[in-house]
Amino acid sequence: MLRMGPKSIIAIFTVFALCTCIDPYIPKLNGYESLMVVEGQVTDENTSYEIKITNTYQEQGASSGVINDAIVSISDDNGNNYQLNNTGNGVYKTDKTKFTGIIGKTYTLRIKTHNGSEYESEPCLMNYVPDIDSLYFEKSQELTNNVTQTQEGIRIYLDSKEAETNQYLRWDFVETWKFKVPSPKKFNYINDSVVVPVNKINEYCWKNVKSNEVLVHSVYSGQTGRIEKQSISFIPSNESDRLLMQYSILVRQYSITKTEYDFWNNMKQVNEAGGDIFAKQPFTVISNIHNINNPKERVLGYFQVSAVKQKRKTIPFSEIVGLNLPYYHYPCERIEMAPKDYPWPPLAPPLTMDDIYKMYTSSGYTFVEAIQDPISFKVQKLVFTKPECADCELTGTSVKPDFWVDLK
């Protein structure tokens, strides 16, 4: 057997470290131009509409520059003008008591920045949108990992009533689900003989996630205007806790123009191209906003005007259990420890429960409860887990949504 001395080992380690250490490369873009980004939408819902204005940035990891000192307004084709309130962080909102979008009317967004630049959107007609007929789900599969593996789960589908005139639709959705942490914190540790119940056990919570997928559809000439079995979302059953208790999805359907359809289609292709320098290079994404005095200035984003219909589907676990899908398992370790269970030098002073408690809590674990003798109630073991496995409010909220009803 070949034996190596200390110097040889150090030399090999040094070479290995030098050869495997790669500094991150952050390219500097010559001639970089900061662009205005406008995000916002007007619908026929009685709510406050929001316009967000920011600037792009050059370096990865840099903060996006918000524009907080603009004058923002929306006008309609009857000459009415509605000024938006500056709420900070680049967000401007309408007053819902004074302005609600109306189907058949045309709206224009106007922005004036502190340096005198003026921007205006194209006039946008609010089209009628058909009702969502039904939301439903089926057991499904999806290829993943470069189509080498198959995921099992459920797929949410949508059927929509036939549109009267509009032939372009877009969807987004909000997911809400109830979940339970595996090892909720039930007690506080006082000393080796005293543990007291916590005031509130954060065992059940809700998570809420907005979609970031681009979902658009066009009805070509000769096709029926009714949408059937439109795929909205695929949920792998073993990748999250969405389906373990009760899941709810709110789908919103928008009427859009051909120009906006092209915008979202282009955005979809840019998103699918990836974000590295070897990916497909994105083309210019269409915007309906321009600088009045400098038409050559590029503006990112799209002022959206659309009627909206929405529908909610709630799926209890009782409808999932019979599908024979793989379940999600929380990556949570439950540690039950007493001084005698911890490896300790024979001649060192014996460990105490206090020592065990301090060692684990200082290492990032949370004490959740104690195992006690059923007769003397003396603490026999301490139980620890990771904080997110003990307190559901670390990853969700314990405030029950207004619409939520627990189903069996």
Residue 84 has pLDDT above 50, yes or no: yes
Instruction: For residue 105, tell me if it sits in a domain.
Output: yes
* AA letter at 37: V
Instruction: For residue 163, tell me if it sits in a domain.
Output: yes
Instruction: For residue 394, tell me if it sits in a domain.
Output: no
Across-strand partners of 42?
A: 305
Q: Are residues 150 and 233 in the same domain?
A: yes
* AA letter at 224: T
**139-143, 308-312, 381-385, range with the lowest pLDDT:** 139-143
Residue 221 has pLDDT above 60, yes or no: no
Q: Are 306 and 257 in contact (CB under 8 A)?
A: no
Instruction: For residue 159, tell me if it sits in a domain.
Output: yes
Q: Are residues 248 and 270 in the same domain?
A: no
Distance CA 58, CA 45 (A): 37
* Percentage of residues in the chain having pLDDT higher than 70: 84
Residues whose CB falls within 8 Å of the CB of residue 196, separated by 6 or more in sequence, listed in order: 187, 188, 190
Six-digit token pair at 274? Answer: 């990836």
Q: How many domains does the chain have?
A: 2
Q: Are residues 268 and 238 in the same domain?
A: no
Instruction: For residue 297, tell me if it sits in a domain.
Output: yes
- Band (pLDDT 50/70/90 cuts) for residue 65 is confident
Element (H, E) at 27: none
Phi/psi for 132 (5° steps) reads -80, 125
What pLDDT score was predicted for residue 273? 59
Q: Are residues 62 and 98 in the same domain?
A: yes
Q: Are residues 151 and 211 in the same domain?
A: yes
Residue 187 has pLDDT above 90, yes or no: yes
Q: Are residues 234 and 262 in the same domain?
A: no
**Residue 389, burial from CB neighbour count under 10 angstroms (0-12, 13-18, 19+):** buried
Instruction: For residue 55, tell me if it sits in a domain.
Output: yes
**48-52, 247-251, 338-342, 354-358, range with the lowest pLDDT:** 338-342
Q: Are residues 227 and 249 in the same domain?
A: yes
Instruction: For residue 107, tell me if it sits in a domain.
Output: yes
Q: Are residues 251 and 262 in the same domain?
A: no
Q: Are residues 120 and 136 in the same domain?
A: no
What residues make up the domain containing 56? Answer: 36-126+258-305
Q: In this structure, what DSSP letter does residue 145 have?
A: T
The per-residue DSSP string of 184-226 comes to ---EEEEETTEEEE-S----EEEEEEE----EEEE--TTS-S-
What pLDDT score was predicted for residue 58? 56
Instruction: For residue 383, tell me if it sits in a domain.
Output: no
> 3-state DSSP call for residue 72?
strand
Q: Are residues 283 and 248 in the same domain?
A: no
Please choose, from the candidates 324, 275, 281, 309, the residue with its C-alpha nearest in 3D space to the C-alpha of residue 139: 324
- Taken as a whole, the chain contains a residue count of 408
Six-digit token pair at 138? Answer: 């089926």
- Band (pLDDT 50/70/90 cuts) for residue 374 is confident
> 3-state DSSP call for residue 100?
coil
Residue 14 has pLDDT above 50, yes or no: no
Q: Are residues 250 and 293 in the same domain?
A: no
pLDDT in tens, 288-302: 999 999 988 999 999
What pLDDT score was predicted for residue 18? 39
Q: Are residues 292 and 218 in the same domain?
A: no
Residues whose CB falls within 8 Å of the CB of residue 346, separated by 6 or more in sequence, listed in order: none
